[in-house]
Amino acid sequence: MMTAEGEEDLGGVAMETPVPRGEASGEQEEVPSFPSYKKSVDENHSESEPQQGNNHSGSEPDPDKNQTGTEPDQGKNQTGTELDQDPTGSGKLSTGPVVVTGNQKTAAIEKLERVRKWSITTYKCTKQVLSEKMGRGSRTVDPELEARVDILRDDRRRYDHVTRLAQTLATQLTELNQTQRTLGDVFADLSLKTPPLHMEFGLNSDTQRFLSKSGETLVWAINSFTSDMNTLLNKTIEDTMINVKHYETARVEYDAYRCDLEDLNLGPRDTATLPKLEQAQRTFQNHREKYERSRDDLSVKLKLLEENKVKVLHQQLMLFHDAVVSYNTTNHRHIELSLQQASTKLTMPGTESPSWLEESGSPS
The DSSP secondary-structure symbol of 132 reads: H
Task: Mention every residue, 6+ apart, whose C-beta is less than 8 A from residue 153.
Answer: none
User: Percentage of the chain surpassing pLDDT 70?
Assistant: 66
The pLDDT, as a whole number, for residue 134 is: 82
Residue 337 confidence (pLDDT) = 86
Domain assignment of residue 294, yes or no: yes
151 occurs within a structural domain: yes
**pLDDT score of 69:** 46
CA distance 10 to 17: 11
Q: How high is the pLDDT of residue 216?
A: 93
Mean pLDDT of 124-140: 80
Would residue 173 count as lying in a domain?
Answer: yes
**Average pLDDT of every residue of the chain:** 75
Contact predicate 254/290, CB 8 Å: yes
Cα–Cα distance list, 102 to 40, 76, 99, 107, 109 (Å): 34, 27, 10, 9, 11
- Each residue's pLDDT tens digit, 31-49: 444 444 444 444 444 444 4
Residue 167, pLDDT score: 95
Residue 164 in contact with residue 175, Cβ under 8 Å? no
In a domain, 59, yes or no: no
Q: What's the number of CA atoms in the CB half-sphere (13 Å) around residue 150?
A: 6
- Tell me whether residue 288 is in a domain: yes
Residue 357, pLDDT score = 60
SS3 33: coil
Crossing angle, helix 274-345 and helix 238-266, to 10 degrees?
A: 160
pLDDT at 227 over 50: yes
Q: How far apart are CA 37 and CA 44, in angstroms?
A: 18
pLDDT of residue 262: 83
Taking residues 263-270, what's their average pLDDT? Answer: 78
In a domain, 340, yes or no: yes
Round to whole Å and give the CA distance between 294 and 152: 17
How many domains does the structure of the chain reveal? 1
Q: Which residue has the higher pLDDT, 133 or 5?
A: 133
pLDDT of residue 203: 87
pLDDT band, residue 13 (cuts 50/70/90) = very low
Most confident listed range (68-82, 158-172, 197-211, 323-337): 158-172
What is the pTM assigned to this prediction? 0.60
Cα torsion 242, 246, 252, 255: sign: negative
Output the pLDDT for position 114.
Answer: 84
Looking at residue 326, its pLDDT comes to: 92
What residues make up the domain containing 335? 142-345
Q: Is residue 356 scored above 80 in pLDDT?
A: no
- Whether pLDDT at 363 is above 70: no
How many CB atoms sit inside 10 A of residue 40's CB? 19
Res 354: pLDDT: 60
Tell me the average pLDDT across 263-292.
84
Q: Which of 38-52, 128-142, 190-204 has the highest mean pLDDT?
A: 190-204
Residue 5 has pLDDT above 80, yes or no: no
Which CATH number belongs to the domain containing residue 243 in this structure? 1.20.1270.60
pLDDT value at position 293? 93
| Continuous segment of H or E residues that includes residue 32 | none
C-alpha 362/C-alpha 257 separation (Å) is 109
Mean pLDDT, rounded, for 149-153:
93
pLDDT winner (highest mean) among 3-12, 123-132, 243-252: 243-252
- What's the residue count for the chain? 364
Whether 277 maps to a domain, the answer reads yes
What's the pLDDT score for residue 355? Answer: 61
- Is 216 a domain residue? yes
Tens-place pLDDT, residues 285-338: 998 999 999 999 999 999 999 999 999 999 999 999 999 999 999 989 988 888
102 or 215, higher pLDDT: 215
Mean pLDDT check: name the lowest of 117-121, 182-186, 223-227: 117-121
The per-residue b/e assignment along 183-215, b for 16 or more CB within 10 angstroms, e otherwise, is: bbeebbebbeeeeeeeebbbbbbbbbbbbbebb
Helices and strands, counts by H and E, the chain = 7, 4
Higher-scoring residue by pLDDT: 51, 134: 134
Q: What is the DSSP string of 44-87?
A: TT--SPP-PPP-TT-PPPPTT--TTS----TTB-TT--BEE--T
> Taking 80 as the threshold, does the pLDDT of residue 90 lie above it?
no
pLDDT recorded at residue 196: 82
